[in-house]
Structures are given as C-alpha cells and as structure tokens.
Amino acid sequence: MNTPRPLALLGGTFDPVHFGHLRAAWEAAEQLDAEVHLLPANVPPHRPQPAVDAAGRVELLRLALAGQERLRLDTRELQRAGPSYTVDTLYELRAEIGPQRPLVLLLGMDAFAALASWNRWLQLFELAHIAVMDRPGPAPAFPAELQAQVAARRAGLDGDWRGHGAGRVLFLDVTALEISATAVRGQLAAGLSPRYLVPDAVLGEIQRRGWYRGGSGAGD
Ligand SMILES: Nc1ncnc2c1ncn2[C@@H]1O[C@H](COP(=O)(O)OP(=O)(O)OP(=O)(O)O)[C@@H](O)[C@H]1O
Ligand SMILES: O=C(O)c1ccc[n+]([C@@H]2O[C@H](COP(=O)([O-])O)[C@@H](O)[C@H]2O)c1
C-alpha cells in the first residue's frame, strides 16, 4: 500500500501574514513533500489579542496565497469560540483523515520552545509529528520536560516518520528570514512601509483598510 502524503499545518496569529511565514511554509512543503495548510487562530491562546480581527487576518492570508496551489488556507479555527487550542484542532483533523496519514504540526523555534505551556501538550505528540523550523535570533532554551520529549522522539528527515501518523520530532533547516509580525506592525504604526517584508497585495489591502496605523499612516 502507498504511504499517504503528509498533511502539514502552520498555525499562527498571522497579524499580519508575512514572507517569514510564507517562505518557511513553502520550504517545509518541499522538504516534507507535504500538502501544507495555513491555519489562522481565531482567539490565539497565550498572547495579547490581535490588532486585526480573524476575518481581516483571513482576508490578508487569501491575498497572500493567491496564484499558487501548494499552500492552502484552513479556516476551521474560526468556527470555534474560546481560545483556539491546537490540540482541539488536531483531534478534529485526525478524525477526518483517519489514523494513518502523517499529520505534521509546523512550529517556528520560538513557538516550539514554549510547547510545554500549551493546553494538553503531551497529547499533541499522539496526534501529529512536530517539525521545528529554525528562526533567526538566539536559540531559545528548552525546558527539561521538552528536552526529554525531543530526546525520545527526534527523527531525521530521511527516517521512518512517513510510515507513522504521529509521534516524531523533526528539525527543518529553512532559509533564515528575520521578519516578524511585531516588526511589520511596528513599521506601520511608525508611518514606515513594510514593503518587501509582506506580499504587495497584503500591503495594499492593509493600507486600503487603514489597519495597524499609528498617528501618521503607512509611508508609501
Ligand atoms: N520568520 C519566520 N521564520 C520561521 N518561522 C516563523 C517566522 N515568523 C513566524 N514563524 C512561525 O510561524 C508561526 C506563526 O507565527 P505568528 O503568526 O505568531 O508570527 P510572528 O511573526 O511570530 O508574530 P508576532 O511577532 O506577532 O508574535 C509560529 O510557529 C512562528 O514561530
Ligand atoms: O494550544 C495551545 O495551548 C497553544 C498555545 C500557544 C499557541 N498555540 C498555537 O500556536 C500557533 C502559533 O501561535 P502564535 O501565538 O505564535 O501565533 C497558533 O496556531 C496558536 O493557536 C497554541
């Protein structure tokens, strides 16, 4: 029987989506030979609430993803009220795709380092593999309980993870792009333009809607 193609998920606040997200997701799709879904959080847990509401962040994602088929949008978390816990989303997806198809949760290094604080975090390993993507900046320390999971579950890209639905931890080497949504919002609030940090269509829509603006407006 053929091994089913992995389904990989990049969850995020995407406030707004930028080239750091898009390039990392693209390279993960190629390295894992996976279908990749971008999954905007309705109510992101563990952080201040976004500057733009979920519908607006989805609109920007649609513009960013237009014209290609490899990265797709999954808006399922918008259907749930309350904090968008990833474990609930993975249970839902696992029920849809069955036990065998590899499901891969994509996380930037910063998000992975905080994994032990997530809701029912150990259940994540029962539901999906986790692929950690490097992110520029000082390498964050892993708490001991996360280190123990990595030691028990670490697998190479060429290893046997494709033969399992869940449970391995992989590390992906992706092009380091030092872009964050915080920096993009900061530029807009200061009246500067984040051109070339976000897709043109995303920047155009942000400017048209007047989102993330401080006193002086975006600068181009
Ligand atoms: N430049 C990047 N390179 C690799 N991964 C990234 C990059 N930016 C974001 N990610 C990852 O994408 C996921 C969603 O990130 P998120 O939407 O919070 O973006 P962010 O830029 O970190 O936002 P903020 O600055 O508002 O915290 C996380 O797993 C994060 O680690
Ligand atoms: O499930 C949790 O407890 C949890 C805690 C923090 C973050 N997450 C998810 O991690 C993804 C990235 O989160 P963020 O805050 O870095 O945008 C996004 O899909 C969040 O819903 C999930």
Tokens found for residue 135: 């992110």
| In-domain check, residue 152 | yes
| In-domain check, residue 52 | yes
Q: Which of 13, 58, 130 to mutate to test the pocket of ligand 1 (most atoms within 8 A of CB)?
A: 13
| In-domain check, residue 2 | no
The alpha carbon dihedral of 163, 167, 172, 178 has a sign of: positive
Does the beta carbon of 46 sit less than 6 angstroms from any atom of ligand 2?
yes
136 is in which domain, residue-wise?
A: 7-209
Give the position, in ligand 1's atom list, of the atom nearest the Cα of 24: 4
Residue ranges of E strands in 120-174: 129-133, 169-172
d(CA 211, CA 51): 8
| In-domain check, residue 193 | yes
Q: What is the pLDDT along the chain (220 residues), one digit of tens a residue?
A: 577 899 999 999 999 999 999 999 999 999 999 999 999 999 999 999 999 999 999 999 999 999 999 999 999 999 999 999 999 999 999 999 999 999 999 999 999 999 999 999 999 999 999 999 999 989 899 999 999 999 999 999 998 999 999 999 999 999 999 999 999 999 999 999 999 999 999 999 999 999 999 754 445 6
Give the pLDDT of residue 1. Answer: 58
| In-domain check, residue 82 | yes
* The total number of structural domains that make up the chain: 1
Q: Which ligand is nearest to the CA of 43?
A: 2
| In-domain check, residue 220 | no
Q: Are 157 and 172 in contact, with CB atoms under 8 Å apart?
A: yes
Q: Are 108 and 97 in contact, with CB atoms under 8 Å apart?
A: no
Amino acid letter, 89: T
| In-domain check, residue 217 | no
State the CATH number of the domain containing residue 30.
3.40.50.620
Peptide bond preceding 16: is omega within 30 degrees of 0, i.e. cis?
yes
Q: Which ligand is nearest to the CA of 181?
A: 1
| In-domain check, residue 1 | no
